[in-house]
Amino acid sequence: MAFSLDKLLVIGISSRALFDLEAEEAIFRQSGLESYRQHQLDNENNVLKPGAGFALVRALLKLNELTPENRLVEVVIMSRNSSETSLRIFNSISHYGLDITRAALSGGAPLAPYLEAFNVSLFLSLHEDDVQAAINSGVASALLYQMPDNAMEDLGQIRIAFDGDAVIFSDESERIFQEQGIEAFEQHERENAMKPLPEGPFARLLVALSFLQNNFKSEDGRAFPLRTALVTARSSPAHERVIRTLRAWNIAIDETFFMGGVAKSAVLAAFKPHMFFDDQHGHCIKAASFVQTGRVPIKQ
């Protein structure tokens, strides 16, 4: 019987997001494909250092240890490498003991067409074109920033933080703010307080995480080791619609912060997420010094 990915949380991650391949990327850009190929062949037994998405992937894979008879998470390497240059990646996966057995190696071709084939729930990459294409195809995706110094800290719990508008929710309300200003935005949210916000690119991922939290049962009574946070620039009176939307979706986020324009960095540093997802480059740059951050592009 074929193995099905339909009921799993599937994370697609590029090799450059999982491991630190910045030196190799520089070789490719400066000297071309053949120099890159030879470098990878010459160093295929040299273990790569962890990259920007490593900590989140390692933490999520640990969930499978809680239910060994019923896997919860699958990770797929989705790389523009060819099979010939990928052995170093697989050797590094083995070195760190990561339970990753599947890969899509496109040999330079775009990766977005293969996301649906692997039922990917979240795609992480440092290649902006692939991230944009994934978002355009309806898959939650983020462009990762370089990891901060504390990214590998073992928290004993998975922590993920989300911005609201254009991430969990659609960018409908944010467009009003950007085009018409704060007063028009607040008036719009007051008038639509009882109307749930449309789904954003990460809505289905949040629903899947909430389902795991609510339906996890361990033999020893342990709680599900995942904590989520919403860190949004919204404040009163725009808070009500957010609360009612999450209620309508039957989602309870563990921690919620209505920042009202205050910088998110200090709250994120206190929450210590494995990953923070935001749509604005300015917010991401500030956050990236404190926590691992991924930027969610607007669907085009």
Q: Is residue 41 part of a domain?
A: yes
Instruction: Indicate whether 3 belongs to any domain.
Output: no
Q: Which of 113, 143, 173 is the last residue of a domain?
A: 143
CATH of residue 228: 3.40.50.1000
163 among known catalytic residues:
yes
Residue 1's pLDDT is 39
Structure confidence by residue, pLDDT tens digits, 76-125 = 999 888 888 889 999 999 999 999 999 999 888 889 889 999 999 999 99
Q: In terms of domains, do 180 and 66 share one?
A: no
Which of 81, 116, 143 terminates a domain? The answer is: 143
Domain match, 178 and 270 both: yes
Both 172 and 111 in a single domain?
Answer: no
Residue 75 has pLDDT above 70, yes or no: yes
Are residues 178 and 85 located together in one domain of the fold? no
The answer to whether the CB of 202 falls within 8 A of the CB of 167 is yes
Together in a domain, 77 and 192: no
Same domain as 118, residue 178: no
- Going by C-beta distance under 8 Å and a sequence separation of 6 or more, which residues neighbour residue 166? 174, 200, 201, 279, 296, 298
- Quote the CA–CA distance of 225 and 173 in Å, as a whole number: 33
- Do 204 and 267 lie in one domain? The reply is yes
- Are 179 and 262 in the same domain? yes
Measured in whole angstroms, how far is the alpha carbon of residue 35 from the centre of its chain?
Answer: 31
Tell me if 201 sits within 8 A of 209, measured CB to CB: no
Q: How confident is the model at residue 264 (pLDDT cuts 50, 70, 90)?
A: very high
pLDDT-derived band of residue 152, with 50, 70 and 90 as boundaries?
Answer: low
**224 in the same domain as 138:** no
| Average pLDDT score over residue span 39-45 | 89
Task: Report the predicted TM-score, pTM, of the whole model to 2 decimal places.
Answer: 0.91
Q: Which domain holds residue 216?
A: 158-295
Number of domains, the chain: 2
- Tell me: do 201 and 112 sit in the same domain: no
Whether residues 180 and 282 share a domain: the answer is yes
How far apart, in whole angstroms, are the C-alpha atoms of residue 212 and residue 223? 11
Pick the catalytic residue from 99, 130, 149, 163.
163
Same domain? For 125 and 168 the reply is: no
Q: Alpha-carbon distance 54 to 100, whole Å?
A: 12
Q: According to the model, what pLDDT value does residue 174 have?
A: 87
